[in-house]
Structure 1
């Protein structure tokens, strides 16, 4: 599930990556968080698409 804390941490790491750079541990954490975020987005999209009902 996508929580505000997850998004905040992703944004913090992204900002740090652009300014100072990330350590190897932070790169791994960022990759893990991206996977969680993308899985959540895909789940939301699938749920939305499953709820669509075609009417003829």
Structure 2
């Protein structure tokens, strides 16, 4: 999980970028923070998918095989 300080910094840089612009150093910092944030979001999303079951309107489990296989691999770790 990304720290509150980093989220605050991301938001600060975004606002500053819109209002007055960023220095090259701030632009680089912003890109690195965004990369870290997106990496964290993707990891969280993947973890949510690993616990998901897909059910069709008739009540049948239609979870894709690839997802079921991944869930099985994670049970054994």
Q: TM-score, normalised by structure 1?
A: 0.90
Aligned length: 56
Corresponding position of 1:34: 34
- Give the greater-gyration-radius structure (CA): 2
CA RMSD of aligned residues (A): 1.3
Runs of 4+ in 1 over 6 A off after TM superposition: none
Higher helix share: 1
Corresponding position of 1:47: 47
Q: TM-score, normalised by structure 2?
A: 0.67
Flag the structure with more relative contact order, 1 or 2, with Cα contacts below 8 A and sequence separation at least 6. 1
Q: Distance in 2 between matches of 1:19 and 1:2?
A: 25
Q: Distance in 2 between matches of 1:46 and 1:5?
A: 24
| Structure 2: gaps (5+ residues) | 55-59, 62-77
